Amino acid sequence: MNRKASSIDRRTAIKTGAAAVAVVAAAGTLAKPYIARAQGEGPIKVPPLPYKDDALAPVISANTIGFHYGKHHTGYATALNTALAGPAKDYASLSLEDIIKTSRANPNRAAVFNAAAQVWNHTFYWNSMRPGGGGEPPAGKLKDEIGKAFGDFAKFKEAFARATIGQFASGWGWLAWDEKDKKLVIQATSNAETPLHRGMKPILTIDVWEHAYYLDYQNRRADYVNAVIDKLINWEFAAKNLG
């Protein structure tokens, strides 16, 4: 853990009281996810990471996860909870998915959409990866559908990496199920945009906002995307999403 992250832990621990200090000290690498949970005031919660914050290293470092999950993801939830307590009070009883769809259709609620979609996208992203993942999906429906839509896994991988790496500026690369055409599609979306409100069912995603990789890869987005595909993709999660 670097010095800057440690000082953030200490400040937050002091703010959240003596009990928090004990938990942060005992939890070791879980210190930063603990902080994220402590900050989640309001109806929208950021779920705990599905692994320890150093579990994806060296592809994604604990330092990146600490800022990305502990600060960025949590920050979107805080922004959304603030909106739901005030200007967007009429959305407070909706599910996160319904907040995303409803706010996307209302240009006056762009800030709510951005916060809500980013909360959802990030939770989906953490689950799209696992330690020891990546490579080809196991035999089954998902692999068959990849073959039908893209020819074979190598062709899928090349197209998915190209679209994700090529997303101009901040955004996301997705594998999604097109409900209308009944086939897998690759999508690249800008900012907080998600296939959720496009008649698509997300299958897996890679975050290509700079905060997702800059601490580890600087400007080498292609190296980050290829390493995630080769070493981290959670194909079991993807297969479950396809159903």
Shortest distance, position 172 Cβ to Mn ion, whole Å: 8
Q: Which parts of 206-235 interact with Mn ion (CB under 5 A)?
A: 207, 209, 212
Report strand pairing: 200-207 vs 171-178: antiparallel
Nearer to Mn ion, 175 or 212 (CB): 212
Using a 10 angstrom Cβ sphere, with 0-12 exposed, 13-18 middle and 19 or more buried, the burial of residue 116 is buried
Q: Coil, helix or strand for 204?
A: strand
Residue in this structure with the two tokens 């909106």, named with its chain if needed: 83
Shortest distance, position 96 Cβ to Mn ion, whole Å: 16
Nearer to Mn ion, 174 or 209 (CB): 209
Which of the ranges 6-14, 155-163, 169-177, 205-213 carries the binding residues for Mn ion, by CB under 5 A? 205-213
Shortest distance, position 170 Cβ to Mn ion, whole Å: 8
Shortest distance, position 128 Cβ to Mn ion, whole Å: 12
Q: How many chain residues interact with Mn ion (CB under 5 A)? A: 3
Nearer to Mn ion, 24 or 46 (CB): 46
Which of the ranges 126-134, 155-163, 203-211, 232-240 carries the binding residues for Mn ion, by CB under 5 A? 203-211
Amino acid of residue 235: W
Which of the ranges 7-15, 107-115, 200-208, 219-227 carries the binding residues for Mn ion, by CB under 5 A? 200-208
Shortest distance, position 115 Cβ to Mn ion, whole Å: 13
Q: Among candidates 105, 107, 48, 118, which has minimal Cα distance to 79?
A: 118
Nearer to Mn ion, 209 or 235 (CB): 209
Q: Which parts of 36-55 interact with Mn ion (CB under 5 A)?
A: none
Shortest distance, position 45 Cβ to Mn ion, whole Å: 17
Contact in structure between 42 and 89 (CB atoms under 8 Å): no
Nearer to Mn ion, 20 or 128 (CB): 128
Nearer to Mn ion, 172 or 237 (CB): 172
Residue by residue, DSSP assigns 131-187 as TT--SSPPSSHHHHHHHHHHSSHHHHHHHHHHHHHH--SSEEEEEEEETTTTEEEEE
Please state, in angstroms and rounded to a whole number, the distance separating the CA atoms of residues 44 and 81. 6
In the chain the first and final C-alpha atoms are separated, in Å, by 39
Nearer to Mn ion, 103 or 118 (CB): 118
Please state, in angstroms and rounded to a whole number, the distance separating the CA atoms of residues 58 and 19. 32
Shortest distance, position 118 Cβ to Mn ion, whole Å: 7
Q: Which residues pair with 172 in a beta bridge?
A: 189, 207
- Check residue 69 for interaction with Mn ion (CB under 5 A): no
Applying CB under 5 A, the residues found at the interface with Mn ion are 207, 209, 212
